Structure 1
Amino acid sequence: MRTFAELDAALVECRACPRLVAWRESVAGTKAAFAGQRYWARPVPGFGAEDAALAVVGLAPSAHGANRTGRMFTGDPSGDFLFRVLFDVGLASQPTSTAIGDGLELRGTRLVSPVRCAPPDNRPTPVERNTCRHWLAEELELLRPTLRAVVVLGAFGWQALLPVLSAAGWPVPAPRPAFAHGAVVKFGDLAVFGCYHVSPRNVQTGRVTHPMVAAVFTAAATAAGLI
């Protein structure tokens, strides 16, 4: 089994999905607010504790967030919302995440995603999701000795995660449990929590609020033994 460092070194060189490679590179620098900045424009590794008891599964890097900064949920509105929640729950050292080297640390928590490259319109295809699946599987296998809970942000992440857990030997029943905000499913010693994605659209429409997301993370952190 590779170490986290070895996994990340292989991941950032991946060019398996031509559409995603083209998009992540061509979108760099096209937003006026970030004109002149050097973009990461590569697959984005997981971020956080290598002995995490809690994993957070998102969707994919955003074009001008993690695709720009090179760190999960960093530099965009979704990340701004998420890290305020993590800080309030006691899982992050600060409520902001702006760039690699900003001092941010996660406590017992690791951020991962089923798709590691920014997709057009934030919509990876099923083929891209499946092609990328082995990176998530390997990262979760590295976390397995300590992993006790997972928060899944959105139905896409839920649909991507359950086959990975099943293939890795966690007892996922058939038919697979459906995604819902606030859902809690136990797969052996692993508790999986459903949470609406903290996307700007969900936040702006009121579908997602800070208290409702904080409630999910508080329950998940409790299940993971972090609080």
Structure 2
Amino acid sequence: LRADKAFVLKSGQVAILQEIDRTEKFLRFRYPGEVIGDMALLSGDHRRTASCMAIEPTEAWVVDYARLRQLRDDPRRSDLRHLLERQYVERRIETRLLQHPLTARLDIADRVRLGELADTAPAAPMRIAPQQRLVEKAAAVDHVYFLLDGTVALAHPTEDGAEATFTTTAKRAFFLGLPALFGNVHWPNDLIARTDSWVTRLPVSALREFAASRPAFREAVAELLIASPSGRALAA
């Protein structure tokens, strides 16, 4: 459904549900003071990305998108823009981790922990514009990038000069740089956005520590890299 309003919870408790393979799966609870329904404001088609179900009597303030967009675009309120974008990324991470075959098998606590590893500092890339470079060729892979939405390309990574492009769909996101989980590697080429995209990054050191105590996850990453024709840069 197309959306035109967000809601600030005043009281009660709401469960967020995500449809995966025609089955609604629990993402997390939202509590008073939190906002729901804001994701569609920043999505390309302004459609709802999840369902919300009140699990007890709940009250909320209604915020019209037109007003919220006006506030977001006000140059004097750049902090609000950053807050909305950071919240969008954090919640998109939740959805994408539940969808991705590597992370869908983790329990909720582990997915939450993995999501907390994401770098959401002001200097971290989140919303990237076409032709924006994320990494340079030959740079050490010190972050694994999680492409949440959009298209990125490894510029001319093959002998024939063709680009390897990675485009998300409603059900598919991409991890890039996962081989760094097993040792020091370098980017084979520049990683460049080809469309307006959303991305987050996870420090390799933190991801290695996460995987070290979860051997099943580490083995699953290895299997996907072996099976992937572009395994040097991608697991999908």
With the length of structure 2 as denominator, give the TM-score of the two structures: 0.24
Higher RCO structure (Cα 8 Å, ≥6 apart): 1
With the length of structure 1 as denominator, give the TM-score of the two structures: 0.25
- Which structure is higher in strand share? 2
